[in-house]
């Protein structure tokens, strides 16, 4: 029996290790889904490039070095007729958890599903205008509630059956089916569970009757359409959630997209093959796509992704800022580098403004600190205090953009008013604002004190696994300390942080990032005072401030205005309030950096994406491999 005690000891060790592992997390963050609703706005957004090809050349090719390019433009998008055949290999951080386009809730899954199933509309990757896809037109009646959609004739599912109105009706029935775990259902439902009525008029016409006017309806119908004939038995049998999982035989995947699943080698790679019945054609009338295969190799470590790219095992690399100079100086480069401008998504600092208390009556936030956090002057002072340029240089190798508002200036979006106030680095102004609040150094020790002589200090946190965020938070801490504010920086595991932000509310200041969508309405959950990602004070029953109430009104009004120009102006007000009140203090946006092998032609990248890797793969069906 001597080994019994030993075993217990070892078991205890195993538990300890398990606890330790629970406490730490991988660098890569959980990437929230960006499908199927796509960014939108009505005006041109990418304006960086001007050359005849639509690509601004930062450095010409020569001496065997890589060419470095900017994004293309809508006018520059002129695909030429290419050659058929070949393969493109991509590296993926995570592997797909399901291929089911209705159930998928994170990007590793939606990226792959998005190749097999398409929506009625698609967003232009440069202008962000909504364009025809499986639908050819969408018009509404005078009430703005009834939309008539004409479907594209001649589209076939990959098993040869025609694509019809029945498929559209079936897709929305499935989405609204309460037994199915569809994360997008809420976006298509009213606050009291109201649904859209979707009816077939004839084989190629569908009528949507909305419960209220919806300005982003054309974007929302970018939701992937699934085949009724193939998937109805699964839904009827109650097996749809688990269906189309990673163990499903590839022939079950019936789609309209350019690529279909060929094999899934768990933990290793996903192989997609060309859909021979894909409806898009080139100028010569040949069915696209050009490439025979598309492979996603699972590579969960950035260093190894870089090695694999250098070793020629993958064709596209989403670079970290540190990778860029290495690849840019590599001789005999067989790849091009793209600097795609600011990515959609940025880092921001915010303070807990939650005035509630827990069940025991204890306030979530120390009332003394809460008065600071809820004072706009304090937040403005913080915005003045952060030296964003040094963050860009020190943390991101200069390959990032200082950020002062939700949307980068470079995008010139219509719903961002001109002359937004911005809080550029100015410690003197920050000090003055704090002094106005009565927070100043009263005893000459370099630390600010309040009227009662107590030091000004707070806790700052971020998710520890995101090393970039940790580094940015460190710089912020240093900047605030120079101002005389004591900041206790304590990064924590993502799960812990989320439960604090979402349930226990016992936090003070936090640095986070979110993927930005190009239509403000997709940010409604952040800006509405009742929203669950209204980070600084989520899920309010009634707005706790006048300005939050006003933002609520802007969003309620904006979604119902169907004229794009009028609608854009409505949103100006919320941008101005956000700039004035600084509930989210924007810090920095990373640059989209991608490398792709020169052998690929018809590459027309855009910067308007959260994942730069997909930015170079626009109109994937047009990409082909040049003859040697």
Partner 1 sequence: MGAYIVRRILITLVMLLAASVLGFGVMKLTPGNYFQRLLQDPRINRTYVEQEIAKRGLNKPVTQQYGLWLWRLGHGDMGTSFIHNQPVAKVIGSRLINTLVMNLAAITVTWVLAIPLGIYAAVHQYRWSDKLLSGLSFVGMSTPGFFLALLLMWIFSGLLGLLPAGGLTGVDHDRLSVAGKLADYAAHLAIPTVVLSVGALASLQRITRGNMLEVLRQQYIVTARAKGLSERRVIYRHALRNAINPLITIFGYEFAGLFSGAALMEIILNYPGMGMLMYDSIQAKDEPMVMAGFLMGAMMLLLGNLLADVLLAVVDPRISYR
Q: Which of residues 301-340 bind partner 1 (CB under 8 A)?
A: 301, 303-304, 307-308, 310-313
Q: Nearest distance from residue 438's CB to partner 1, in Å?
A: 35
Q: Tell which positions 248-267 bind partner 1, by CB under 8 A.
A: 263, 265-267
Q: How far is the CB of 489 from partner 1 (least distance, A)?
A: 20
Q: Per residue, what are the HEC states of 439-503?
A: CECCCCCCCCECCCCCECEEEEECECCCHHHHHHHHHHHHHHHHCCCEEEECCECHHHHHHHHHH
Which of the 8 DSSP states describes residue 102? T
Contact between 33 and partner 1 by CB under 8 A: the answer reads yes
Residues 420-479 that bind partner 1 (CB under 8 A): none
Count interface residues toward partner 1 (CB under 8 A): 79
Q: Are 433 and 381 in contact (CB under 8 A)?
A: yes
HEC per residue, 339-374: EEEECCCEEEEEECCCCCECCCCCECCCHHHHHHHC
Angle at alpha carbon of residue 558, lines to 553 and 560, rounded to 5°: 110
**DSSP one-letter code for 260:** E
For 115, residues 6+ apart whose C-beta sits below 8 A from its C-beta are: 257, 258, 259, 260, 272, 294, 620
E strand residue ranges, 467-599: 486-489, 509-514, 584-597
Answer for the pair 414, 42: CB distance below 8 angstroms, yes or no. yes
Q: How far is the CB of 246 from partner 1 (least distance, A)?
A: 7
Q: Is 14 a residue that touches partner 1 (CB under 8 A)?
A: yes
Q: State the minimum distance, in angstroms, from the CB of residue 538 to partner 1.
A: 9
Q: Is 509 in the site for partner 1 (CB under 8 A)?
A: no
Q: Between 161 and 185, whose beta carbon lies closer to partner 1?
A: 185
Assess 130 for contact with partner 1 (CB under 8 A): no
Residue 573 Cβ, how far from partner 1 at the closest point, in Å? 20
Rounded-to-integer distance, Cα 253 and Cα 258, Å? 13
For the chain, the 3-state helix, strand and coil shares in percent, each to the nearest 5, are 30, 20, 50
Binding to partner 1 by residue 184, rule CB under 8 A?
yes
CA angle (270 as vertex; 38, 226 as ends), nearest 5: 45
Span of 7-15, 120-128, 406-414, 574-582 interacting with partner 1 by CB under 8 A? 7-15
Given phi > 0 = left and psi -120 to 50 = alpha, else beta, which region is 554? alpha
Site for partner 1 in 85-104 (CB under 8 A): 87, 89, 94, 97-98, 103
Ramachandran angles phi, psi of 385, nearest 5°: -80, -20
* 242 binds partner 1 per the rule CB under 8 A: yes
The stretch among 295-303, 376-384, 396-404, 427-435 that binds partner 1 (CB under 8 A) is: 295-303
Selected from 47, 357, 495, 560, the binder of partner 1 by CB under 8 A is 495
- Cα–Cα distance between 242 and 179 in angstroms, integer? 12
Residue selected from 48, 56, 499, 544 as contacting partner 1 according to rule CB under 8 A: 499
Strand partners, 293: 87, 273
Q: Which of 283, 284, 428, 503 binds partner 1 (CB under 8 A)?
A: 503
Considering the complex, state which of residue 11 and residue 562 has its C-beta at the smaller distance from partner 1.
11
- Candidate residues 295, 518, 559, 625; the one interacting with partner 1 per rule CB under 8 A: 295
* Helix 467-482 vs helix 388-396: crossing angle, to nearest 10: 140
Contact flag: residue 72 with partner 1 (CB under 8 A) = no
Q: How far is the CB of 151 from partner 1 (least distance, A)?
A: 26
Q: Which is nearer to partner 1, 79 or 531 (CB)?
A: 531
Q: What is the CA radius of gyration of the chain?
A: 26
CB closer to partner 1 out of 187 and 432: 187
Nearer to partner 1, 300 or 427 (CB): 300
Query: Is 43 near partner 1 (CB under 8 A)?
Result: no
The residue (of 46 and 528) whose beta carbon lies closer to partner 1 is 528
Q: Find the part of the chain contacting partner 1 (CB under 8 A) among 332-340, 376-384, 496-504, 546-554.
A: 496-504
Out of 246, 355, 426, 544, which residue is the one contacting partner 1 (CB under 8 A)? 246
Q: Which of 203, 358, 424, 502 binds partner 1 (CB under 8 A)?
A: 502
Structure tokens at 49: 């490039």
> Can residue 6 be called a binding residue for partner 1 (CB under 8 A)?
yes
Does 514 bind partner 1 (CB under 8 A)? Our answer is: yes
φ, ψ at 308 (rounded to 5°): -65, -35
Which residue in the set 156, 410, 525, 544 belongs to the binding site for partner 1 (CB under 8 A)?
Answer: 525
Minimum separation from the CB atom of position 398 to partner 1 (A): 25
Q: Within positions 163 to 182, which residues make up the interface with partner 1, using CB under 8 A?
A: 181-182
Which of 51, 137, 268, 488: binder of partner 1 (CB under 8 A)? 268
List Cα–Cα distances, 280 to 6, 122, 225, in angstroms. Answer: 66, 13, 16
Q: Which helix (H) or strand (E) holds 233?
A: helix 228-236
Q: Should residue 496 be labelled a site residue for partner 1 when binding is judged by CB under 8 A?
A: yes
The closest of 90, 616, 77, 79 to 340, measured between CA atoms, is: 616
- Give min distance, CB of 232 to partner 1, in A: 20
């Amino acid at each position: 029996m001597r080994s019994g005690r030993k075993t217990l000891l070892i078991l205890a060790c195993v538990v300890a290790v398990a606890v330790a592992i629970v406490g730490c997390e991988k660098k890569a963050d959980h990437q929230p889904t960006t499908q199927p609703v796509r960014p939108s706005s009505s005006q041109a957004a990418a304006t960086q490039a001007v050359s005849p090809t639509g690509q601004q050349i930062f450095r010409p090719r020569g001496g065997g070095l890589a060419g470095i390019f900017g994004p293309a433009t809508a006018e520059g998008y002129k695909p030429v007729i290419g050659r058929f055949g070949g393969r493109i290999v991509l590296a993926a951080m995570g592997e797909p958890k399901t291929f089911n386009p209705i159930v998928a809730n994170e990007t590793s899954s939606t990226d792959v599903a998005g190749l097999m199933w398409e929506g009625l509309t698609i967003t232009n990757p440069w202008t962000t205008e909504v364009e025809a896809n499986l639908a050819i037109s969408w018009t509404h009646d005078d009430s703005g509630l009834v939309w008539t959609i004409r479907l594209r004739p001649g589209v076939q599912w990959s098993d040869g059956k025609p694509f019809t109105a029945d498929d559209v009706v079936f897709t929305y029935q499935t989405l609204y089916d309460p037994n199915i775990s569809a994360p997008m259902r809420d976006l298509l439902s009213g606050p009291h569970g109201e649904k859209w009525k979707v009816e077939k008029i004839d084989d190629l016409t569908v009528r949507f009757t909305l419960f209220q006017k919806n300005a982003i309806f054309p974007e929302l119908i970018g939701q992937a359409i699934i085949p009724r004939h193939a998937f109805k038995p699964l839904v009827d049998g109650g097996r749809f959630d688990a269906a189309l999982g990673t163990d499903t035989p590839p022939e079950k995947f019936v789609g309209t997209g350019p690529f279909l699943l060929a094999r899934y080698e768990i933990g290793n790679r996903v192989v997609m093959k060309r859909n021979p019945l894909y409806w898009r054609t080139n100028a010569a009338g040949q069915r696209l796509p050009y490439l025979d295969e598309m492979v996603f190799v699972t590579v969960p470590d950035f260093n190894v992704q870089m090695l694999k790219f250098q070793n020629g095992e993958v064709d596209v690399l989403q670079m970290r800022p540190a990778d860029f100079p290495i690849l840019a100086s590599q001789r005999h480069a067989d790849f091009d580098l793209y600097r795609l401008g600011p990515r959609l998504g940025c880092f921001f600092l915010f303070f807990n403004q939650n005035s509630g208390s827990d069940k025991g009556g204890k306030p979530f936030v120390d009332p003394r600190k809460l008065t600071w956090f809820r004072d706009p002057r304090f937040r403005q002072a913080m915005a003045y205090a952060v030296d964003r340029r040094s963050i860009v240089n020190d943390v991101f190798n200069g390959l990032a953009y200082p950020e002062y508002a939700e949307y980068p200036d470079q995008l010139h979006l219509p719903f961002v008013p001109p002359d937004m106030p911005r809080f550029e680095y100015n410690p003197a102004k920050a000090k003055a604002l704090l002094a106005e609040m009565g927070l100043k150094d009263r005893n000459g020790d370099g630390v600010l004190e309040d009227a009662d002589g107590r030091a000004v200090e707070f806790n700052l946190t971020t998710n520890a696994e995101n090393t970039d965020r940790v580094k940015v938070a460190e710089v912020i801490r240093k900047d605030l300390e120079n101002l005389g504010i004591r900041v206790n920086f304590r990064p924590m595991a993502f799960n812990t942080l989320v439960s604090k932000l979402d349930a226990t509310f016992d936090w003070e200041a936090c640095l986070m990032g979110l993927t930005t969508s190009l239509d403000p309405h997709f940010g409604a959950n952040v800006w509405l005072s009742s929203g669950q990602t209204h980070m600084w004070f989520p899920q309010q029953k009634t707005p706790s401030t006048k300005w939050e109430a006003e933002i609520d009104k802007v969003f309620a009004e904006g979604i119902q205005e169907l004229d794009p120009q009028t609608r854009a102006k409505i949103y100006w007000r919320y941008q101005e309030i956000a700039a004035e009140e600084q509930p989210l203090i924007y810090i920095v946006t990373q640059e989209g950096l991608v490398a792709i092998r020169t052998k690929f032609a018809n590459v027309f990248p855009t910067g308007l994406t959260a994942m730069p890797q997909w930015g170079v793969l626009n109109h994937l069906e047009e990409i082909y491999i040049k003859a040697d």
